[in-house]
């Protein structure tokens, strides 16, 4: 008999399929990244992507070879600087090393200072480097932007530049993902036609937390919208719990 789609096991399996399993520790070693790749490959449901710092992309690419797991990395991270040329160089190197997806930090401090032009230039520069087939996620750093107005402005910059996902947070600031910020971002995506995806990341610690973002996305954009092409979750602290729940006997 098939699982109840609302059961903890089914929910865990679905969240695993939407997970960007991430390790962005400053002291990550090649051995730790290899172990992370092995854990991802051994999961009962493969995560959507694995996200590591650029220096670990080539190694992770070798370990994930032949799997369907996408390989993501970060640029302009976590500071969100305002130099488009720097972002171009970082993205080019990451793609040359084998990245499938780029998570770019918006120059959110520039935006807060009233310089939307700098923020837009950085996003457009990275979009130009990320050609067809490369997924670009824009981290708006919603907790630092603070107000719905600033979050909407950041979303508009990303949507105009043609990013593939709007992402809440780096996980490196005091305030990361929140349902209130997610609602603003999802509404912006819906108003733009629902093509762009959404990623919640930072501070998601429980299965209930993760499910709340999934429910919010489907309330705003419709049942079934939240597939890996449109919805991701950065909740690596939950990975072990998700694997255990998805593996539990029915």
| List 20, 100, 103, 164, catalytic entry | 103
* Catalytic residue of the set 199, 209, 215, 227: 199
User: Is 137 noted as a catalytic residue in this protein?
Assistant: no
d(CA 154, CA 190): 15
What are the percentages of helix, strand and coil residues in the chain, rounded to 5? 50, 15, 35
| 172 among known catalytic residues | no
Q: Is 3 a catalytic residue?
A: no
Q: CA 136 to CA 219: how far, in whole Å?
A: 24
Query: Rounded distance, CA 105 to CA 226, Å?
Result: 23
Helix axes 239-247, 207-221, angle to 10 degrees: 80
CA angle 217, 212, 111 (to 5 degrees): 60
Please identify every residue annotated as catalytic. Answer: 103, 167, 199
């Amino acid at each position: 008999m098939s699982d109840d789609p609302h059961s903890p096991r089914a929910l865990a399996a679905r969240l695993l399929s939407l997970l960007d399993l991430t390790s962005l520790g400053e002291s990550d070693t090649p051995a730790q990244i290899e172990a992370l790749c092995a854990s991802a490959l051994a999961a009962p449901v493969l995560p959507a992507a694995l996200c590591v710092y650029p220096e670990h992309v080539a190694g992770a690419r070798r370990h994930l070879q032949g799997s369907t797991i996408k390989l993501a990395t970060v640029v302009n991270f976590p500071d969100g600087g305002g130099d488009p040329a720097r972002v171009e160089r970082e993205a080019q190197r990451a793609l040359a090393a084998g990245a499938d997806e780029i998570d770019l930090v918006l120059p959110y401090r520039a935006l807060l200072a009233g310089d939307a032009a700098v923020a837009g230039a950085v996003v457009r520069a990275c979009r130009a480097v990320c050609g067809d087939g490369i997924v670009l996620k824009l981290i708006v750093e919603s907790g630092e932007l603070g107000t719905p107005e600033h979050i909407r402005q950041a979303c508009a910059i990303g949507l105009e530049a043609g990013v593939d996902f709007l992402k809440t947070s780096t996980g490196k600031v005091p305030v990361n993902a929140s349902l209130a910020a997610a609602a603003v971002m999802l509404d912006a995506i819906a108003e733009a036609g629902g093509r762009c995806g959404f990623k919640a990341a930072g501070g998601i610690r429980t299965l209930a937390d993760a499910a709340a973002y999934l429910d919010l996305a489907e309330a705003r954009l419709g049942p079934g919208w939240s597939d890996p092409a449109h919805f991701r979750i950065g909740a690596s602290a939950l990975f072990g719990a998700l694997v255990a729940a998805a593996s539990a006997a029915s």
